[in-house]
Amino acid sequence: MSLFLSAKAATTPRKLTRNRLGTVMSSLLIIAAVGCSDKSADATTNSASSIGGAQSIKADSVAKASDPAVVKSLQANLQASGIEETILSATPTDMEGIYWVTGEGLPPFFADKAGKHIIQGQIIAVGEPTPIDISAAFMADSAQQALETVDKKDMIIYPAVGETKSVLYAFTDADCGYCRKMHEEMADINALGIEVRYLAWPRSQESVPKMEAIWCSEDRMAAMNQAKMGADVQGPSCANPVQQQVELGAALGVRGTPAVFTQAGEQIGGYLPAAQLAAAVGIN
C-alpha cells in the first residue's frame, strides 16, 4: 500500500522537525521477512517485495539524472508546510510524473513532479508477464552506497570459513529473539562462505546501553556472543558508532531486526535459516 500525503495535509499546529518527519515515515515501512519489530518483542511479517510476486526493476533505471527543478519544488513545499528537510535528489522513474526522492537522514520516498505529494510505499508496474516493483532498484542503490561508507572497524564481523562467497550486512539487537536465532546459526552461515557484518540497531532505549557496551568491549565478538545468549554485558563508556548506525538504518528504512542486506544493497530479510539465507544470495 502507498500513503499519499499532501503538503497541505502535512501541516500541523507545531513545526515538524526532521526527526518528526522521519519517525512518521519510518513507522509506515514494512519489516521484511521474519524479525523483531521496534515496538514488540517478536513479530512475523511477510516481505513487501514478495507481494504479487513482483520483481525488481532493471538497475539501469537508477542511472537517470536527478531533476533539480523537482528538488527545488519539493523543498519549497515542505518548508511551506513547516517541515525542515534537506532534499538531495529526485530521480525520474518509469512511472510518468513520479520521482524517487532521497533526503538527508530520511528513508527514500516517491513524489510527484510538482513536489506537492509524498508517496510512501511500493509502486507496482503491471501489464507485463511479471509485475515489477519500481522502487526496488532505487532502494538497493541507495543502500549499497550508504553501507559502503561504514568503516569495517565500526562493525562486528564474523568472517566466512574458506572462500568468501557472499558478504551480508545485518542490523542487529542483542535482545531480539530472531536475532538470537540467526546468531545461533552463525557457524553454519560462515561455513557456507558467507561473511556477516553486524551493525547496531537497538530497538528501544532500554537496549541502547547493552549495544554500546558490546561495541565498547575490548573483545566485541566475545561480548556479542555473550549478549546473544542472554548475558547482561557490561562495558566501559567509549566513543562508539551505535547512534550513527541507528540513523543509518533509519535512512535505509530499517524498522525491525535482524535487517539483512547484501553488498549490492538488496534487503533479503529478516531471519532466514542458514540454508535459505545461502539460497537467497545464490549459494547452492
The domains of the chain are located at: 2-146, 151-280
175, 176, 216, 255: the catalytic one is 176
pLDDT at 191 over 60: yes
Each residue's pLDDT tens digit, 50-71: 334 444 444 455 667 999 999 9
Going by pLDDT thresholds of 50, 70 and 90, the confidence category of residue 34 is low
The reported pLDDT for the residue numbered 12 is 29
Distances from the Cα of 192 to the Cαs of 189, 259, 260, 284, in angstroms? 5, 20, 16, 9
- Reported confidence tier of residue 38, pLDDT bands at 50, 70, 90: low
What integer pLDDT is reported at residue 62 of this predicted model? 62
Contact of 232 with 210, CB cutoff 8 Å: yes
**Contact yes or no for 85/74 (Cβ under 8 A):** no
270, 198, 186, 183: which is closest to 241 by C-alpha?
Answer: 198
Q: Which of 141, 179, 197, 216 is catalytic?
A: 179
Give the number of C-alpha atoms closer than 13 A to the C-alpha of residue 175, restricted to the C-beta side: 19
176 has catalytic annotation? yes
Which cell goes with 160?
566466512
The reply to whether 203 belongs to the active site is yes
pLDDT above 80: residue 265: yes
Determine the topology of domain 151-280 in CATH: Glutaredoxin (3.40.30)
Strand pairing partners for 89? 102
Concerning whether 36 is annotated as a catalytic residue, the answer is: no
Confidence band for 138, pLDDT divided at 50, 70 and 90: confident
Q: What is the pLDDT of residue 150?
A: 97
Q: What is the Cα–Cα distance from 281 to 159, expressed in whole angstroms?
A: 16
Q: Which of 16-30, 170-184, 244-258 has the lowest mean pLDDT?
A: 16-30
Q: What is the pLDDT at residue 63?
A: 60
So what's the pLDDT on residue 54?
46
- Percent of the chain residues past pLDDT 90, beyond the cut: 60
Beta-sheet strands, E only, within 75-133 = 87-92, 98-103, 109-112, 117-121, 124-125, 132-133
C-alpha cell recorded at residue 10: 502535512
Q: Given the residues 38, 133, 173, 175, select the one marked as catalytic.
A: 173
25 pLDDT above the threshold of 60: no
pLDDT higher than threshold 90 for residue 110: yes
**What's the pLDDT score for residue 162?**
96
- Biggest CA-to-CA distance, the chain: 59
Listed in sequence order, the residues at least 6 apart from 90 whose beta carbon sits closer than 8 Å to its beta carbon are 66, 67, 70, 71, 74, 99, 100, 101, 111, 115
d(CA 241, CA 244): 5
Report the pLDDT value the prediction gives residue 135, as an integer from 0 to 100: 84
Position 128 scores a pLDDT of 86
Whether 26 has a pLDDT exceeding 60, the answer reads no
- What mean pLDDT do residues 171-186 have? 96
pLDDT at 217 over 90: yes
Catalytic entry in 38, 133, 180, 203: 203
Whole-number pLDDT of residue 155: 98
Question: Which 8-state DSSP code applies to residue 81?
Answer: T
- Residue 190 and residue 183: Cα distance in Å, rounded? 11
**Helix/strand/coil percentages in the chain, nearest 5:** 35, 25, 40
